[in-house]
Structure 1
């Protein structure tokens, strides 16, 4: 039986990119459908009526929503190239840090880069404190997943790639080598990994997009 895998996404969304990276890492064939967030398609609204957001993965007619949930679904459905550790404690740990990036870091980073000048200093401080936790979690590892890219690294596109885009678009600097040597090394490893590099949107196009939209 042929499998049908559809992905509804937006080219500039790091959340869509996460899912694309996981699908490609596992060698899964899929059809990508670009959404217009200002004019959402009936299919997107049908498959994700609660959040009405991308990404949505549709596997043989069944929708899965929310990028971290989709990543776990992909890992459980297609066993090659696992992105979650086998050990239950390590799996729980990976889930924790992926969630930490989404629930804590993203909001703080967004405020630090895009808030009004007067509120920015406090936001930078808050974001730096959170990034410190990730710095400590990396320890001496090459990736959060050890020697290979795993769930936290895929979720970490927000820090490894998007943060640099926000910094450049807004002219702020949050992630410095002096303050975060391990995270900086990880970012370099991440962006020079041929697999990740091939699946990132064009940097200059993205910087222009964020400047126009939020600048």
Structure 2
């Protein structure tokens, strides 16, 4: 075995084998690395530009996205408007129901009379009727007055109909200390429609009819039909 072969296999020093790399192998590896082509700055910039172009949208893709958005708007906006109008009807009807409940509870608690004003003047001479008639027509419907020491005391402002229509008007309701409801100027139990709220902007379910039966039973009905 010649000296060069021993240098490749290694030299044993104190029981350890140390590899010796041939000078020729080192020169060959260096020449191979130096022979590889280097990537220039121009090539790197071109690849980055191609990547940026691929990340964008084409005109066709943009047009398709706009068409989908337009279809969603056309379908969603009318449904959203109908939902808002239906919610307005229900909210207004619940407000009237709340006014009736407030008048009844205060009349029972104080053992006196209370009145929910109608939209028209009652023409009565008692303090509650006079207080309702003194209000402006736009603020009268749904206002609540309580008789305290022979004087009418306001406990709730009028509700009105807002942008809604009151089919048949808003009936005045009077409560006694027993909690029983009566029509204004009558001692018979109230058994009629209090208010029928309507909007012509809805094709169906456009009525919220609130009725009071036997002087104590309230009910809100959802109906469809033209607004008068």
- TM-score, normalised to structure 2, is 0.18
More helix by share: 1
More strand by share: 2
Larger Rg: 2
- TM-score, normalised to structure 1, is 0.19
Larger relative contact order (CA 8 Å, sep ≥ 6): 1
